[in-house]
Each structure stands twice: as C-alpha cells, then as structure tokens.
C-alpha cells in the first residue's frame, strides 16, 4: 500500500477538506500525481515505439508489399502484393517455402537441444556450488567468463578450433586419439549442427548458472536444517527441497533461454558467415540471407511476421500453463 | 552434517569437466595469439615452435583496430548511460505509481524481448535510410543510429529488473523522504537510487555487454568510419590468408576490458538478479 497508489485514501488528501486554498492545491496535486508517471515513462515509451513497435508495424505493412531494391529510397511506393509473400513463404513444395520449413525445423531442434543442455549444466553447477568449498569463489568467477566474453571474440575462437586442418578439435580427435579415419569438416555439412550446438551451449549455460545461483539464495537455510534433523541426506535434500524450490525461477529462465536461442543470430553468423550450412541454417540467418542477398524485403518481412506469430503463440501457451505467467500479466 | 562421498565425487568430476569445457577456448585464444603464423596455419600444436608478441603489434596495422575500438566504446558507452537513466525513470514510475495503462506498458515492454532482431532490422534499415533521404540526418551508418538501436535492446530487461529491485526498497523510506520535503525526484535520487545501486550496476553491466557484443545491426548499419569491433574483427581474413594468430590476439584485446569489468562487478550482478529478476 502506498500513498501514491491510492490518492483517495492517502494522507495527502486528508488535509484537502480544509476550506480556502485546499481545492486548488488538491487539483494541482492530483494533476502532478497523474501526469508524473507518464512523464517518467515517456523516454522509454518513445524509444520502444521508435525502435521496436513502429518498425514492427512497418514490417507487417512491408510483408504485404513487393519491396525490392528499386523501392529502397521510398518503400511506400512499392506495389501492393496482397498475400503473395505469405503464399511464397508457406508454399512448402516450392524452393523458398521448402527452405524456410527446413530452417524452421532445424531451429526448433537446435533450440530444444541447446536450452535443455544449458539448463542442465547451469542447474547442476549451481546446485553443486550451493555449499561453500575451497575454490568455490574462483570457479564461480571462471564459469561466468563465457558469458562475459563478447560473442564475436568467443565464437571466432571456436571457429578456429573447429577448422578442419589447423584446429585443435581435429588435432585431438583425429591425430591424437585416432577416433576418425580422416579429419572431419565441422563447419560444413551435417557436423555444423553439432558445432553450433556446442558453441551455443558454451555461451549460454553460464546465464542459467547465474540465474540459478540467484534463485538458490532465496531458499531459507532452516528448511535444510529441518530436513537434516528428519534424516534427509544430501541427495534427498537436493531432490526434495532444492529442485522444487527452483521451479518458479526455472519457468522464467526456460522462457528467456528459449526466446534468446530461437532468435540467436550472432552465433551462427560469426561461426558460418552469411550463408550457414543447411544443417545449421537457423531461421534468423535464413531470413537475413534471403532478404539481403536477393534484396527481396517483402518476402523476408512475411517470414519474420510468421516467426513472430509462432513465438507469440508459444510464449502465450507457456505463460498460460505456468504460474509465473499469471503473476506477470497481473502487473505489479 | 558432511555431504556423502558420492556427492563429493560427483561434484568433483562434474566441476572438473565443466572447467575444461569453459577454459578450452580461452586456452586456445591465449596460446594461439602468441604463435608465429606457421603454427596457426599448419597443424595445431600444443607446444608452439616459438613464442612471439608479433601478432599483438601487427593487429593494429592489419585493420584499423584502434578506430573500431573507439567506435565500440562510444556506441556501447552512450547506449549504456542512456539506457540506464531511461530505465531508472520508467521502473520508478511502474514501481511507485498506479496509473492507467500500467499493465499494457509492462506487458508491451516485456514482449518486445521476444521480437526476433531480424523482424525490425529490415524496417529499421528502411526507416533510417528514409529519414536520411528526407531530412539529411544520417542515422544509417552513423554512431547515433547504432546507439539509438542498442539502448532499446537492453531497455526491457533493465526496466523489468529495476522494477523488482525498486519494489524491494521499503516504501516507508521514500514516504519519509517526501514527508521531509523531498519531491518525487528527490525521493528517487536520494533514497531509491542509492538503495538500488547493485541493481543499477547490474543493469549497466548488462547494457554494456549487450551493446559491445552485438553483431547483426553492427554489420548492416555501419560504414567504414563507424565500424565497431564486432564487424572489424572479420578484417583479418584476406583472400589468401587467415591471420589466426592476429585474430586471437585481437579477440583477447577486445575481450579484456569487458571481461575484467564484468568480473569486478559480477557480485552486483548476482545480488541484482536475486533481488530484481528472480522473485
């Protein structure tokens, strides 16, 4: 309860019944109270509108137009295309639609695998490091390094490690362990999916670790003491107390990881360049390539809108089925 | 009660493997940056044929790395400062006031998190080009355009996290400040902001890292003069050679400032997340 949240009952209006100057003061007070939050929100609102919402609306409009490089100077002059761009995108028998569908399937598989592994590593590391032991602080710092490194610097290093002829991975797997007949290509063909997954997990799991560590700090210590008194061992405490207590944190974490991984552009782009191999052709790269390579922004926009619709539906369903969603949409 | 041996062994093995996984690229980055070119173009060598600091000297000449560095600093620094200030005001409004459209605002801001970057890359590109054509204000290719773009990337998460953080500052404190004659701004800057320093630092770190590491918009929306490190690092590959030792040296150089800053401030990030985002 705050005085500002409910001006009708707050202390501020208590003096308002005094005769004379009171009504004027009350009115200006109320004006200030009503106007102020909007004033504080204005910069954020304007920027969100300018950089996210207006472009999104333009993107939706463009998706119904035939926008090629000839109309770049003035996109409003581009001819109306109706649903043509969408028809091309979802015509799964034609090359464009077929490629989009394949890339979408790849992205889904990749996202599930990456989020799952990130979650697993992050949770396990956080749970194992809940109790203090020698070197814990050092390890905690170390584990955050992949998160802190700029994407391009880290991913370019991985690209070097996965080089066929001069990379460390093939040197170990082929030259030293003799696991393969000939050194495999990691950045081409089917292996590219594995490569992308390894890099993505390496980059992403520390975030899960960070969030899980934060979540663990909110579990009161005395629950463990009570459980220990009742005879619960360490593993049992983890299964019965730690993991269930993390559930609300999990729900946010998985959603955030899902959205970030699904939309990730930076990792595949630095790893493979503008054209990713088919096995690792994520949707964001695919749309980028089909837009800026062919300069066909109409189709690219239609594909983006379809992608957004998919994300909206998934997120909506997810929020509907998790307790966290109710809290988030209830507002603060 | 001491944990059982099974737990201790599981912990040791798991953490050891994870450490190797985490450190492998760091090891490759550091060692390769000190190798002569033959060592990084031929088979990988654990023991280099010779150690050299040559790559660290050459990186500045092969590409104008210093210029890219300055561009990245300006863009990421400005985006961070703007983003934090704007987020503080927005989060304050949401945390302390009730007003019409509050729910719409929070839900909208949060949902911009889920937009694929590619969705507004194309339109933003069009908008910047058209604004440039119509008014002569060069947003496309300029640092300003990039700053404007980046500061909105970290904004939703920053606002969301600060709302949680401000909520955890007891209202009695700012009520007391208002009774003592502070206006709302006074209460914000004298009471709430000082009490929320860890959250604000966490948000700033996040904003800086987001801007410093962004690749997609940097590669479309910059030109020769405004190129950031994210794009500039690609310049070490020529038609004939890839200067892997220089790439590794340059990667290390551009990483050191952010990693050092991050590791110094990471405890704020954990406390910030505990109070702000994870509730």
Has residue A35 got a pLDDT over 90? no
Contacts A–B by Cβ distance under 8 A: 312
For chain A, the structural domain boundaries read 94-295
Q: What is the pLDDT of residue A29?
A: 53
Q: What is the pLDDT of residue A249?
A: 85
DSSP helix, strand, coil percent of chain B (3-state; round to 5): 75, 0, 20
The pLDDT > 90 percentage for chain A reads 27
CA distances from B70 to A106, B66, B74, B143, B220 (A): 38, 6, 6, 11, 19
Angle of helix A95-128 versus helix A283-292 axis, rounded to 10: 140
The gap between the terminal CA atoms of chain B, to the nearest Å, is 29
Tens-digit pLDDT profile for residues A128-143: 998 888 999 899 989 9
Query: B245 vs A91, which has greater pLDDT?
Result: B245
All residues of chain B having their beta carbon less than 8 Å from the beta carbon of residue A121 are 18
| Cβ-defined contact of B133 to A73 (cutoff 8 Å) | yes
B148 has a chain A CB within 8 A of its CB = yes
Has residue B139 got a pLDDT over 90? no
B47 has a chain A CB within 8 A of its CB = no
Query: B116 vs A199, which has greater pLDDT?
Result: A199
Point out the residue among A131, A217, A288 whose CB comes nearest to the CB of B274: A217
Cβ contacts of B270 within 8 Å, gap of 6 or more:
A210, A213, A214, A217
All residues of chain B having their beta carbon less than 8 Å from the beta carbon of residue A239 are none
Q: What is the pLDDT of residue B67?
A: 92
> Given pLDDT bands bounded at 50, 70 and 90, which one contains residue B1?
low
All residues of chain B having their beta carbon less than 8 Å from the beta carbon of residue A311 are 114-116
A174 has a chain B CB within 8 A of its CB = no
* A 129-148: CB under 8 A from B: 129, 131, 133, 139, 141-148
Q: Which segment of A15-19, A30-34, A155-159, B226-230 scores lowest on mean pLDDT?
A: A15-19
Has residue A26 got a pLDDT over 70? no
Cβ contacts of B17 within 8 Å, gap of 6 or more:
none
Distance CA A201, CA A285 (A): 18
Tens-digit pLDDT profile for residues A256-275: 899 889 989 889 999 998 78
Distance CA A265, CA A274 (A): 10
Cβ contacts of A67 within 8 Å, gap of 6 or more:
A75, A78, A296, A297, A298, A301
B28 has a chain A CB within 8 A of its CB = yes
ipTM: 0.88
Alpha carbon of B223: minimum distance to chain A alpha carbons (Å):
16
**Is 1.10.3430.10 the CATH classification of the domain at A94-295?**
no
A5 has a chain B CB within 8 A of its CB = yes
* B 196-225: CB under 8 A from A: 209, 212-216, 219-220
> Given pLDDT bands bounded at 50, 70 and 90, which one contains residue A323?
low
Point out the residue among B3, B18, B274 whose CB comes nearest to the CB of A234: B3
Mean pLDDT of B142-147: 87
Point out the residue among A58, A167, A256 whose CB comes nearest to the CB of B123: A58
Alpha carbon of B175: minimum distance to chain A alpha carbons (Å):
8
> Given pLDDT bands bounded at 50, 70 and 90, which one contains residue A146?
very high
Q: What is the pLDDT of residue A117?
A: 97
SS3 A63: coil
Has residue B64 got a pLDDT over 80? yes
> Given pLDDT bands bounded at 50, 70 and 90, which one contains residue B14?
very high
Distance CA A143, CA A91 (A): 45
Which domains are assigned to chain B? 64-234 (1.10.3720.10)
Q: For chain A, what is the mean pLDDT?
A: 82
Tens-digit pLDDT profile for residues B206-257: 899 889 989 888 988 888 888 999 888 888 887 778 889 999 999 999 999 8
- The CA-based dihedral angle spanning residues A103, A106, A107, A108, taken in that order and rounded to the nearest 10 degrees: 130
Q: Which segment of A61-70, A226-235, B3-12 scores lowest on mean pLDDT?
A: A61-70
Tokens of B105: 């605002």
> Given pLDDT bands bounded at 50, 70 and 90, which one contains residue A282?
very high
Element (H, E) at A278: none
Residue B230, judged by CB atoms within 10 A of its CB (0-12, 13-18, 19+), counts as: buried
All residues of chain B having their beta carbon less than 8 Å from the beta carbon of residue A158 are 25
Q: Which segment of A276-285, A299-308, B202-211, B264-273 scores lowest on mean pLDDT?
A: B264-273
Residue where the block lists tokens 């609300």: A248
Point out the residue among A41, A269, A328 whose CB comes nearest to the CB of B90: A41
Taking a C-beta distance cutoff of 8 angstroms, is the pair B195, B275 a contact? no
A332 has a chain B CB within 8 A of its CB = yes
A311 has a chain B CB within 8 A of its CB = yes
Long-range contacts of B13-17 (CB under 8 A, 24+ apart): B14/A124, B14/A125, B14/A128, B15/A125, B15/A128, B15/A129, B15/A139
Q: For chain B, what is the mean pLDDT?
A: 87
Q: Give the Cβ contact number of residue A133 at 10 Å.
A: 14
Has residue A89 got a pLDDT over 50? yes
Residue where the block lists tokens 């107390």: A241
Tens-digit pLDDT profile for residues A213-224: 888 888 888 888
Tens-digit pLDDT profile for residues B73-116: 999 999 999 999 999 999 999 988 888 888 888 887 777 777 77
> Given pLDDT bands bounded at 50, 70 and 90, which one contains residue A332?
very low
All residues of chain A having their beta carbon less than 8 Å from the beta carbon of residue B25 are 146, 154, 157-158, 161, 202
* B 51-70: CB under 8 A from A: none
Long-range contacts of B61-65 (CB under 8 A, 24+ apart): B62/B235, B62/B236, B62/B243, B62/B246, B63/B232, B63/B233, B63/B235, B63/B236, B63/B250, B64/B232, B65/B229, B65/B232, B65/B250, B65/B253
Give the mutation candidate from A34, A51, A111, A145 for the B interface (greatest B CB count, under 10 A). A51
| Cβ-defined contact of B93 to A125 (cutoff 8 Å) | no
The pLDDT > 90 percentage for chain B reads 33
* A 210-239: CB under 8 A from B: 210-211, 213-215, 217-218, 228, 233-235
Has residue A16 got a pLDDT over 50? no
B237 has a chain A CB within 8 A of its CB = no
| Cβ-defined contact of B43 to A211 (cutoff 8 Å) | no
Has residue B278 got a pLDDT over 60? no
For the whole model, what pTM was predicted? Answer: 0.86
Distance CA A52, CA A54 (A): 6
Task: For A59, name the nearest residue in chain B, comparing CA atoms only.
Answer: B123
Return phi, psi of residue B170, to 5°: -60, 135
């Amino acid at each position: 309860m705050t005085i500002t949240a409910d001006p009708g009952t707050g202390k501020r209006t208590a003096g308002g019944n005094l005769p004379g100057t009171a009504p004027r003061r009350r009115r200006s007070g109320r004006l200030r109270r009503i106007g102020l939050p909007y004033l504080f929100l204005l910069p954020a609102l304007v920027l969100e509108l300018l950089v996210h919402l207006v472009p999104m609306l333009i993107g939706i409009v463009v998706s119904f137009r035939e926008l090629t490089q000839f109309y770049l100077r003035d996109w409003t002059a581009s001819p109306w295309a109706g649903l043509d761009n969408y028809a091309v995108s979802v015509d799964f028998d034609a090359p464009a639609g077929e490629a989009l569908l394949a890339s979408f399937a790849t992205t889904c598989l990749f996202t599930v695998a990456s989020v799952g592994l990130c979650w697993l590593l992050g949770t396990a590391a956080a749970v194992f490091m809940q109790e203090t032991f020698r070197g814990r602080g050092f390890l905690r710092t170390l584990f955050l390094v992949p998160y802190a490194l700029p994407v391009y610097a880290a991913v370019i290093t991985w690209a070097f490690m996965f080089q066929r002829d001069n990379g460390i991975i093939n040197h170990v797997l082929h030259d030293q362990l003799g696991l393969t007949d000939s050194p495999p290509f990691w950045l081409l063909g089917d292996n590219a999916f594995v490569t992308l997954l390894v890099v993505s997990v390496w980059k992403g799991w520390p975030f899960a670790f960070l969030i899980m560590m934060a979540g663990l700090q909110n579990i009161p210590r005395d629950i463990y003491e009570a459980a220990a008194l009742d005879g619960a061992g360490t593993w049992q405490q983890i299964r019965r107390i730690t993991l269930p207590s993390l559930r609300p944190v999990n729900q946010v974490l998985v959603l955030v990881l899902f959205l970030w991984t699904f939309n990730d552009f930076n990792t595949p782009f630095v790893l493979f360049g503008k054209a990713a191999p088919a096995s690792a052709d994520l949707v964001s790269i695919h749309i980028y390539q089909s837009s800026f390579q062919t300069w066909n922004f109409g189709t690219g926009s239609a594909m983006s809108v379809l992608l957004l619709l998919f994300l909206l539906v998934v997120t909506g369903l997810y929020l509907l089925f998790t307790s966290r969603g109710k809290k988030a949409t209830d507002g603060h | 009660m001491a944990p059982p041996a099974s737990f201790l062994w599981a912990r040791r093995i798991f953490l050891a493997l994870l450490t190797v996984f985490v450190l492998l690229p760091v090891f490759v980055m550091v060692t390769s940056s000190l190798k002569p070119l033959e060592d990084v173009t031929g088979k990988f060598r654990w023991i280099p044929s010779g150690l050299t600091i040559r790559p660290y000297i050459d990186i500045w000449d092969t590409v104008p790395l210093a210029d890219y560095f300055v561009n990245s600093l300006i863009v990421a620094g400005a985006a961070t400062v703007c983003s934090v200030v704007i987020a503080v005001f927005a989060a304050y409004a949401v945390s302390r006031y009730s007003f019409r459209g509050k729910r719409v605002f929070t839900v909208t801001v949060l949902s911009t998190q889920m937009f694929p970057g590619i969705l507004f890359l194309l339109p933003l590109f069009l908008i910047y080009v058209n604004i440039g054509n119509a008014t002569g204000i060069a947003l496309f290719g300029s640092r300003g355009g990039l700053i404007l773009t980046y500061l909105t990337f970290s904004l939703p998460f920053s606002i969301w996290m600060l709302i949680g953080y401000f909520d955890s500052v007891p209202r009695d404190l700012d009520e007391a400040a208002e009774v003592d004659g502070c206006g709302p701004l006074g209460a914000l800057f004298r009471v709430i902001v000082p009490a929320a320093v860890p959250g604000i630092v966490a948000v700033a770190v996040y904003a800086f890292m987001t801007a410093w590491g962004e690749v997609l918009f940097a590669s479309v929306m910059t030109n020769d003069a405004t190129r950031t490190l994210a794009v500039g690092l690609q310049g070490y590959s020529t038609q004939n050679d890839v200067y892997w030792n220089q790439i590794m040296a340059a990667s290390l150089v551009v990483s050191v400032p952010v990693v050092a800053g991050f590791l110094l401030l990471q405890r704020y990030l954990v406390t910030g997340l505990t109070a702000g985002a994870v509730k």
